[in-house]
Copies of this chain bind each other. A is one copy, B any other.
């Protein structure tokens, strides 16, 4: 029986707070049967999440009895199960549904939920659970596979989507490319990967290196970035990932108008130009590397403002730039193809 996924976004059904839900709908639409949020009237997902078309948002588990997987559609900072979701997760388990979660707090460690799953036969899948215990070795890394890494100005600027769109765009052009998921949402989309932010700090680079070595028989790997190298909370994750995947080429991702760090509202973001230099310095300390493109997230801008920004970046950075949502990833795909010729 195929997966019929109901995505839980209880009280958090917006494009920004339900990032996980939106990405799973965008990329695994054929497996998703609906969205569950008891705090809003039933309606099409598009109206709430700006994705999903007429996919139904329902407000009881009864509304979609065919669903066999409940997927927690959010990834809050800190990663605990929000209290309002608890009863719904328990209800799903009691119906025998599997539950898939990318939270830091593991469902399997929750005595009540685990006991209920034991009774109903549900499987609780904690995507962030890992037992990574290997340090990086910097050995056996192939020079024949081009490694492209998306890095960003801040969290939630679109690094994952850019990475997926680039890998798909490359595949369409006949390149054997793979998206390397490094976060729980990317893993839900791709079906494999490594939840680097949940790895014990000593082993972050080693865990990433293993992903690279496992998949470097491809021609190109597009490795999803996390956080930012200057983020008050997550810079450790970002640097461990950068030094674990040893990129040849970097894509810089940012959102127009973002001024303050996500999750640390008192901390101003550096300019994208100054941060670019930090990425270059830290990446090149490990492996020769350069920026090959810029991904602009222009969700808050109108079309003329976006076009002006794109021109400014293309001439200022002397690199192709685009919004992969608003347009497509072709300029970035071209940049990778160009790099492969070098």
The CB with the most chain B CB atoms within 10 A, among A235, A236, A238, A266, is that of A236
Asked if residues B237 and A201 are in contact (CB atoms below 8 Å), the reply is yes
Q: Are B134 and A78 in contact (CB under 8 A)?
A: yes
Write out the residue numbers on chain B whose beta carbons fall within 8 Å of the beta carbon of A199. 200-201
Is the CB–CB distance between B78 and A133 below 8 Å? yes
**Within the assembled complex, what's the spacing in Å between the Cα atoms of A94 and B204?**
36
Contact (A243, B232) CB under 8 Å given A136-B264, A201-B196: yes
Interface window among A81-89, A158-166, A280-288, A308-316: A280-288
Residues 139 to 173 of chain A near chain B (Cβ within 8 Å): 139
Question: Is A138 among interface residues, defined by CB-CB distance under 8 A?
Answer: yes
Residue of B nearest to A132 (CB): B201
Given contacts A232-B138, A237-B236, A264-B138, contact A278 B286 (CB under 8 A): no
Shortest distance from the beta carbon of A309 to any chain B beta carbon, whole Å = 24
CB neighbors of B among A206-221 (8 A): 206
A230 and B135 contact, CB distance less than 8 A: no
| A263 interfacial contact with B, CB 8 Å | yes
A73 to B243, CA, bound (A): 30
Q: Given A202-B198, A264-B137, A278-B285, are A240 and B236 also a contact pair (CB < 8 Å)?
A: yes
* A91 close to chain B: CB less than 8 A: no
- Residues A229-280 near B (CB distance < 8 A): 229-230, 232-241, 243, 263-264, 266-267, 270, 274-275, 277-278
Give the residues from 70 to 117 in chain A that come closer than 8 angstroms, CB to CB, to chain B: 77-80, 104-105
Question: Is A23 an interface position by the 8 A CB rule?
Answer: no
The answer, yes or no, to whether A197 is at the interface (CB within 8 Å) is: yes
- The list of the 10 closest CB pairs from A to B, nearest first, reads A236-B240, A135-B233, A197-B202, A204-B236, A236-B236, A239-B239, A230-B285, A201-B237, A138-B232, A136-B233
